[in-house]
Amino acid sequence: MDLATLQSTAPATETVFAFYDELAAADVNFMLGRWRGEGLNTGHPLDGVLERFGWFGKAFVDPERVHPLLFKKRGGIRALNPGLMPMNLALRCPWLNNDVVAAMFRVLQPLMATRAPRARLRTVEFRGQCTSAMVYDQLAIIDVFRKVDDKTLLGVMDMKGMEQAFFFVLRRDQS
Q: pLDDT tens digit string along 108-124? A: 999 999 999 999 999 99
What is the CATH number for 47? 2.40.128.580
Please give the tally of structural domains in the chain. 1
Please report, in tens digits, the pLDDT of each residue of the chain (175 residues total).
899 999 999 999 999 999 999 999 999 999 999 999 999 999 999 999 999 999 999 999 999 999 999 999 999 999 999 999 877 787 888 888 899 999 999 999 999 999 999 999 999 999 999 999 999 999 999 999 999 999 999 999 999 999 999 999 999 999 8
CA distances from 151 to 31, 34, 49, 147 (A): 10, 11, 24, 8
pTM: 0.94
CB neighbours of 140 closer than 8 A, spacing ≥ 6? 159, 160, 161
Residues 137 and 120 sit within 8 Å (Cβ to Cβ): yes
Which pLDDT belongs to residue 86?
79
End-to-end C-alpha distance for the chain, whole angstroms: 29
Task: Calculate the CA dihedral of residues 10, 15, 21, 24 and round it to 10 degrees.
Answer: -40
- CB environment 143-154: b (16+ within 10 A), e (fewer): bbbbbbeeebbb
Query: Closest Cα to residue 33, out of 76, 80, 65?
Result: 65
Q: Which domain range does residue 117 map to?
A: 3-172
Which pLDDT belongs to residue 87?
79
